Amino acid sequence: MQTNTKPRVGYGQGWAETAEITGPVVRVRTGVTVQRGEYRGINGKPAAFVWRDEVTEVPAREIIVRVGREGAWLWEGRTRIDVRTAFPNNKEAARLVRSFQDWQRFFEKYYDANRPQRFFWGRYHQEGLSLARQLQAALIDVAVVRYQRPTEDPQAHAVEELDL
């Protein structure tokens, strides 16, 4: 017969060496603050979601995702920027560069200035918004990401910015 040498914390409360494991952190932007939450569990199995008490301010840096000519898709104000140079330590954001470049090439290949209504605007904006949301998740502590329609879009004058 095998005996257990670990002492119980209390009746029905597990063993003394059982460590609580913290899972991936969830970050949510609510108005003017970013709140954090995490999954907690025992032995690597998440059992509960807990909000942390800390609340951080929303960063003042504003990044705009908008397609432009000659490979430009990321802007800070009116200046074109590159993800790798603007955020050199953020590997999550750097992984999105190829997807953004493919998205940009799709626009340059299929957009015809003589017939802008014939472009796949719905599908194009759907993919652009998805990429912008991924970039926002990667940069949530560093910058606010916004998505704007390009000036070539016929509906850009009515609604310039689309909500993430």
**DSSP calls for 84-125:** HHHSTT-HHHHTTHHHHHHHHHHHHHH--TT-GGGS-HHHHH
| Tokens describing residue 149 | 């329609």
Smallest CA-to-CA distance from 27 within 46, 45, 63, 51 is with 51
CA-based torsion, 104, 106, 110, 115: positive or negative: negative
Enter the pTM of the model. Answer: 0.71
Tens-level pLDDT at each residue, the chain (164 residues): 445 566 655 566 665 555 555 556 677 766 667 777 888 777 767 778 887 766 677 778 888 898 876 767 888 888 888 888 888 998 999 999 999 999 989 988 888 889 988 888 889 999 999 999 999 888 888 888 888 888 888 887 777 777 76
**Dihedral angle, C-alpha 27, 28, 32, 33, nearest 10 °:** -40
